[in-house]
Amino acid sequence: MRKLLMTIALVLMASPAAAQLLITGVMDGPLSGGVPKVVELYACDDIADLSIYGLGCANNGGGTDGVEFTFPAVFVAAGTHLYCEDVDTGNPTAFFDYFGFDSDYDVGSAAGTNGDDAIELFLVSGVEPVVVDVVGDINVDGTGAPWEYLDGWTKRISGSGPDGDTFVITNWTFSGANALDGCITNDSCGSIFPLGGFTCDPAVATEKETWGSLKSLFR
């Protein structure tokens, strides 16, 4: 019985719907150098230790680049949006200049998208990292693809995801390529990146509660 329960628990841990964190937006900015390069994440539930998650950018359709950034061991409350940027671009103030507030994390190349690259969110607490959410196709150069966001952005539709390692294009809206050309701030842009505003699928919380119930059986 104990072995069966452990098997069920491991399946739940690996399932996308059990993820407490998901990708809700990505932006390839219009400022000089193509900045800010931004990944927006959202916590559907309290996360006791954010270091169980990592990010990676799959460049140019060449498949996964794996985990390029692991988050620090901090608590994140349910309902929190996290803003990640690639500061290694020669313009370290680009995020603040464009949005008027500071990002939460410099994740380096993990957010180094050129608007035609996929972003992967990993659960890294197991023996091998598991992809729990993705935007874009890691095996496709997005140039000219329906999901291209060069000098633009993409935003997850509320109530959708997380999607595991399979990109579900119908769960996203897109500005289209070059929608941000000429913009200098988000508020003054004709194509505003819609910060925040995401709400989770209740099934995410349901699976979290199920996992909590299963854990109690091992005490």
pLDDT in tens, 165-213: 999 999 999 999 999 999 999 999 999 999 999 999 876 544 444 334 4
Please state whether the peptide bond connecting residue 162 to the residue before it is cis, i.e. omega within 30 degrees of 0.
yes
Q: Indicate whether 47 belongs to any domain.
A: yes
Q: Indicate whether 159 belongs to any domain.
A: yes
Encode 170-188 in three state secondary structure. HHEEECCCCCCCCCCCCCC
pLDDT in tens, 51-86: 999 999 999 999 999 999 999 999 999 999 999 999
Q: Indicate whether 72 belongs to any domain.
A: yes
Local structure of residue 133 (DSSP, 8 states): E
Q: Indicate whether 102 belongs to any domain.
A: yes
| Mean pLDDT (the chain, rounded) | 88
The Cα–Cα gap between 69 and 40 comes to 14
Q: Report pTM.
A: 0.86
Q: Which domain holds residue 76?
A: 2-207
Q: Indicate whether 214 belongs to any domain.
A: no
Q: By CB neighbour count within 10 A (0-12 exposed, 13-18 middle, 19+ buried), where does 127 fall?
A: exposed
Q: Indicate whether 218 belongs to any domain.
A: no
Q: Indicate whether 26 belongs to any domain.
A: yes
Please tell me the total count of domains within the chain: 1
Q: What angle do CA 40, 46, 48 make, to 5 degrees?
A: 100
Mean pLDDT computed over 81-94: 90
